[in-house]
Structure 1
Amino acid sequence: MSQHDKQSRQVGVIGLGAMGMGTATALHHQGFNVTGCDIAAEARDAFIAAGGKSVATPMELAHCHIVLVVVVNGSQVEQVLFGEQGVVGHLAPSSLIIQCATVAPSQAKQLGERVAAEGLMMLDAPISGGAAKAKSGELSVMASGAAEAFSYASDVLDGMAVKVYRLGDDPGMGSSMKLVNQLLAGVHIATAAEAMALGIRMGLDPEVIFEVITHSAGNSWMFENRVPHILKGDYTPLSAVDIFIKDLNIVHQTGRELSMATPVAASALQQFTSASGAGFGREDDSAVIKVYQRLSGITLPEAANDAQET
């Protein structure tokens, strides 16, 4: 697609959090005509500062050909699509919604049916990779939907992702795959925290634990990615504790719908719930280790500034 064609393609991004901002910025830098939407003025101002345009309500994206929904949960998806100021009733026929939030597969199916009833297309397309990969346009997209929708979205998907997995013709399969990913991610973070806490309680140097495990069979992507937050004592939220409470609750809900137990995910959910209950819900998800600090009195590494002040 030429630069002129990209400029003529109007793209809206609803939700300018870490992932949404990164995706909007990546598409803007690649030449798409992007309008961001967020209720927070500071998020809108940040996207304007990056060179984009922004609006305060989804209905103001009526001019867009493609709208990405990158909000936090299913309730917000419902609101930005079908609420009083939702975008669905204002888009031109055959416009496309790319629904990227993590929602229950059953909700994704219902959203697809409702969007189709309005004469629009929808891709059920959850994303993974984190804020850094969103900004560089290197996400993984787990998508399902009609071939026509994939064809219409191909340039935008290529602009935001390094890998797009086509998982079926109907909404729901993309969200199903994302749920498998979130089960593993949540369990791996909780397990990494427990392993680090055990090592620290036994007197091992946290830095040495990280060095050894990242070169051993017990390593995981989440261990390698999240434990450095613990080592730095920096719990600035890249993905918050409360996000995994939401996602693992969706795992639990879906398991009930299927009459299938998910006991390991349930255990991880309890740890994240304990962390949130202790006041760490808005901290980085690696803060789940603070549950063990409360229970067993382990000493965790401090942030550099904190260490200097004491």
Structure 2
Amino acid sequence: MKISKVGFVGLGAMGSVMSPLLVKAGYQVFGYDIIANIDESSGVKQLDTLDDFAQFDAVIFMLPNSKIVSEVVTKLLEINIKSILIDMSSSDPRETKKLGKIIEAEGLKFLDAPVSGGVSRAKTGDLMIMAGGDEEDILEVNDLLSIMGTVQYAGPLGSGHAIKALNNYVSAAGLIASFEALTTARSFGIKPENFLKIINGATGKNNTTEVKLDKFVVSEKFNSGFALDLMVKDVSIAHSLIKDLSSDNPLSNDVRNYLSKSLDLLGGNPDHTEVYKVIKK
């Protein structure tokens, strides 16, 4: 099947920079969002209703959670859509498997392909895309997905969403540990620049120390583009999976609880790097 017309549901921070890449690659892209508007210069034609999505070859979802994805899919099935459906959101893998059974019963193909890398890597098409589903179906959309990043097969349907949640849990644990360490180092009289040079040249380096501390925390900009409430959602999914599928879970509950507490203390819609403000108090 040749894919030429693509629907893109969700034009927020990620969708608004991912969808134009498809236009530049030669696809006809039609977007939809109940709140956000995308600039006409992006080349994405924004539609006012999902009713116009019936004739697309593929439909991509980049939405806040599984519940919204399911609601959108239900509406699309009502208009007899025939597209390949690709959920690039950070959804709950168990809900993805349930939704997959409904979609499969309609004779349609459904894949999960969440991403990692944030807005900066989304803009340049350098995301890590974690694909779950039938391998042949993933190959069918590989050219499309590869425009937005590197596609790595994870396993059967839901596997992409599972590993995305687990990845963000590992990232969150490293975030909290790095913030604790930086706060302690500063209190001991170690300058942040010296802390970063040594940590990033030693075994303690991680994504937070290499990418986030200098740019977003030491600078006090706290504008990474990834909201704390989304991290809490992902880590909560990971904790639930770990609790159900692992023999022990010594850390995941503490990570989830600390992030949730931080979200409550910070108020509003804080960036996830603002957890540092809670730790340094």
Q: Check whether TM > 0.5.
A: yes
May I ask how many residue pairs the two structures share in their alignment? 280
Which range is displaced more, 55-64 or 187-196?
55-64
Letter in 1 for 2:78: G
The answer to whether the aligner puts 1:248 opposite 2:235 as a matched pair is yes
Encode CA deviations 1:38-91: one digit per residue, 9 max, x unaligned: 111xx3233x23222112443432222111111111222122222xxx323325
Q: Per the alignment, in what secondary structure is the counterpart of residue 103 of structure 2?
A: helix
Distance 2:48 2:256 in 1: 34
Which range is displaced more, 25-34 or 143-152?
143-152
Aligned-CA RMSD value = 2.1
Pair 1:103–1:92, CA change in 2 (3 A): closer
Which residue number corresponds to residue 71 of structure 1? 63
Which residue number corresponds to residue 223 of structure 1? 209
Deviation at 1:222, TM superposition (A): 2.4
| The one of 103, 110, 114 aligned to 1:122 | 110
Encode CA deviations 1:68-118: one digit per residue, 9 max, x unaligned: 111111222122222xxx32332533x201111122221121121111112
Q: Does the aligned pair in 2 maintain the 1:26–1:134 contact within 8 Å? A: no
| The one of 13, 22, 36 aligned to 2:17 | 22
Q: How does 1:185-204 map to 2 (within 5 A)?
A: 185-204=171-190
Which residue number corresponds to residue 284 of structure 1? 271
Distance 2:208 2:20 in 1: 25
TM-score by length of 1: 0.83
Letter in 2 for 1:143: A
> After the TM superposition, which segments of 4 or more aligned residues of structure 1 sit over 6 Å from their partners?
none
Pair 1:91–1:195, CA change in 2 (3 A): farther
Which residue number corresponds to residue 160 of structure 1? 148
Deviation at 1:281, TM superposition (A): 5.6
Distance 1:110 1:255 in 2: 19
Letter in 2 for 1:205: K
Which residue number corresponds to residue 298 of structure 1? none
TM-score by length of 2: 0.91
Distance 1:239 1:15 in 2: 16
Distance 1:213 1:127 in 2: 27
Which residue number corresponds to residue 98 of structure 1? 86
Distance 1:181 1:97 in 2: 23
The answer to whether the aligner puts 1:60 opposite 2:52 as a matched pair is yes
Pair 1:55–1:284, CA change in 2 (3 A): same
Distance 1:281 1:214 in 2: 32
| The one of 265, 268, 272 aligned to 2:255 | 268
Q: Does the aligned pair in 2 maintain the 1:36–1:44 contact within 8 Å? A: no
Q: Does the aligned pair in 2 maintain the 1:138–1:160 contact within 8 Å? A: yes
Gaps of 5+ in 2: none
Q: Per the alignment, in what secondary structure is the counterpart of residue 38 of structure 2?
A: helix
| The one of 23, 36, 41 aligned to 1:49 | 41
Q: Per the alignment, in what secondary structure is the counterpart of residue 14 of structure 2?
A: helix
Encode CA deviations 1:227-286: one digit per residue, 9 max, x unaligned: 120111112251111111101111122233336443322222222112111125622211
Gaps of 5+ in 1: 295-310
